[in-house]
Amino acid sequence: MSCMQDHVLYTPAHKQRLRKFTDLFSPSTALANNYHVHDINPGLGQGSNDLYDFGRICLGRGHFCFKQATQLHCEMPFRSFGITVFLTGTCQFTRPDSGEEYQVKAPQIFLRKGQFGPVVFSIPARTPVTTLSMEFNIELLEKIGSSIRQNKVTRFFQDLDRSEVMMLDTLDPKLVCALHYLVGLPKANSELDLINIEGVALSLLGSLFTLPSQQDDKYRKEVEQAIAILESRCSEKITIPKLARQVGMNECYLKRYFKQYTGLTISAFLEKHRMDIALLLFSQGKAAQDVAYDIGYDNFYYFKNVFKKRFGYFPGSERSASVD
């Protein structure tokens, strides 16, 4: 594989850190100059760590479970800007130079910036831990910061002269799903795999930098209530005025913040949810007209057109032809 090997920035520093863990990790499997995999020594535990150096960002993923309580002593003598995510497990990390200590219980996201020096990770025995980290450079931060509105993530990275760590206190459910998706992608075996992984990582980074601001968060509860109503009562006739009254919001505000939170209008969200249920019901062998009725469509032909437009086909075309 040769994907993006001309822009390797982070790999040398990563190799330098791993030299201290020769007993813990097996020798690196270098599938490309910018992609390395390290398996944990089977005598010490299970799992692996892989690193993708794409130049403007560097992605690291870890899945491991140690047989005994383990401490990882890392030196970070260089300036770094990025995020560290713990998706499963618990651990503790400390910065001996500053005396800072953090107790981690997944899921948890840390924003970090500056020059940290030594960092110690303490991981309990027989505790599966899944981590994800992303590094990025100042140039990318400056480009992002000048093109989007301010939120707690962008404000954290504005003052680049300070060395600091910040935990995100609340995690967007969609963001957590995206993190699990990225961590769960198979290890790269081709150049196309590398391109896909970089694209997903960049999309995730974009989601972080466009999290709703605290001002917008005050409507999150109402939007989540609206989502619950739409999902649980999708077979009913649901109007926006009625939905707004049920969640105690102004109609205009509900439409605005619903789209901001979900990325979809209320009608588009309801249609997508209905179609997802229809697909499930079809997979269970249910008749087309029954499916239409169960998810709230009185007009079978309209339901058929919506389904075909979304998925590109309509199940049981031979049987449905008799209906036509």
Going from the C-alpha of 173 to that of each of 170, 180, 310, the distances in angstroms are 9, 11, 25
Residue span(s) of the chain under CATH 1.10.10.60 come to 216-311
Topology given in CATH for the domain delimited by 11-210:
Jelly Rolls (2.60.120)
The residue with tokens 């899945």 is: 63
Residue 238 and residue 160: Cα distance in Å, rounded? 48
Across residues 235-240, what is the average pLDDT? 92
Residue span(s) of the chain under CATH 2.60.120.810 come to 11-210
Q: How confident is the model at residue 230 (pLDDT cuts 50, 70, 90)?
A: very high
Residues 51-88 have pLDDT tens digits of 888 888 889 999 989 999 998 887 765 667 889 999 99
CATH of segment(s) 216-311: 1.10.10.60
Helix (H) or strand (E) holding 277: helix 266-283
Residues 292-304 have pLDDT tens digits of 999 999 999 999 9
Helix (H) or strand (E) holding 225: helix 220-232
Residue 140 and residue 215: Cα distance in Å, rounded? 26
Residue 58 and residue 7: Cα distance in Å, rounded? 11
Look up residue 160 and give its two tokens. Answer: 């680049």
Q: Residue 256: is its pLDDT beyond 90?
A: no
Q: pLDDT over 90 for what percent of the chain? A: 27
Q: Residue 44: is its pLDDT beyond 50?
A: yes
Instruction: Please report, for the chain, how many H helices and E strands are present, in that order.
Output: 13, 12
User: Is the four-CA dihedral 154, 134, 84, 121 of positive or negative sign?
Assistant: negative
Please list, in sequence order, all residues whose beta carbon lies within 8 angstroms of the beta carbon of residue 283, skipping any fewer than 6 positions away: none
pTM for this predicted structure: 0.60
